[in-house]
Each structure stands twice: as structure tokens, then as C-alpha cells.
Amino acid sequence: MKTSLNHLHLVGINASFNESTLEADFQNKIEQWKKLSAPDITNIKNQMLSLEKFHIDKFINTLEQSFARLVQQVNIIVLHGLSQQTASVENAIEYINNYPDNQPTLAPPLKYEIDIRYNNGDLIHAIFNNKIEALKFLRTFI
């Protein structure tokens, strides 16, 4: 941030401040900024962006990768039943919602095991002790 403030010196604004800066001084700095010409503001923005180009590019790349990552398959195992594979989180929620917890069995459901596989090879593996937490987890993806 200190380097960013240096760019404002190029247009005659001392933008530095701390806890002892008077409100009037702070407002004066804001008024000076508001009086800058559009080319001066564009120049300052461009200089600040160029300083952080590496971090901005890294952020945009991470953002693009997260948007490109799609759920390919959701695998649910209720640990007293059979494995059920679904093509989406919505189908996984429907499966768990409709799963008969009280079906005749020697033991009640002990755990819900969920694997979410993505088209880029990523895998999220989660195990929950109850249906409510498993559903809460799955709903974070929609």
C-alpha cells in the first residue's frame, strides 16, 4: 500500500495517514482525489495495477480454474447400505433425502460417505455421522 500511495504524490496528493490524522485532513485528501482529471486517475490506476500484476494474474487464473471445474460425479455410501453414484450434487441431495433411514436392517445408518469427483481430477472426500450434516455439506455446492 505504501508504494500505491507514492503514485498519488505524482499528482500532488499526500495520501499518507495514520490513527492521529485529523478528520479534516482526511477529508481534504478525499477532495483532492475528487478533483483529479480522468487521465490522472487512469494513470494512477494503471500504475497500481502494474505493481500488482503478478498477484492479479494469479487471482484471475485461480478464478478461471474454479469456474472451469465441474462436478463429474457424486458417490454416496450410507454405511449400512450400498454405494450409490449420482451425476450431480442435486441428485445426491435427492438420493439422501429419499434414503429410507428406517429400512429393515440390523443396524441404523452409522455414517454418510461422500466423494465429489471433478472433471479436472480433483476429489473431495467427506464422511458425516448424520444425514443433516451430509445434506448441509452437499448444499454448499449449489
Delimit the domains of the chain by residue range: 2-67, 71-139
Q: What is the pLDDT of residue 73?
A: 96
Q: From residue 24, how far is each of 9, 21, 34, 35 by CA, in Å?
A: 19, 8, 15, 17
Q: Strand 83-86's sheet: what is its strand order?
A: 83-86, 71-78, 112-118, 123-128
d(CA 88, CA 76): 11
Share of the chain above pLDDT 90, in %: 43
DSSP code, position 128: E
Confidence class of residue 6 from pLDDT cuts 50, 70 and 90?
Answer: low
The answer on pLDDT for 67 being more than 80 is: yes
Find cell 484471475 and name the residue.
Answer: 60
Q: Which pTM does this prediction carry? A: 0.50
Residue in 95, 70, 63 with CA at minimum distance from that of residue 81: 95
The residue among 96, 104, 81 whose CA lies nearest residue 130 is 96
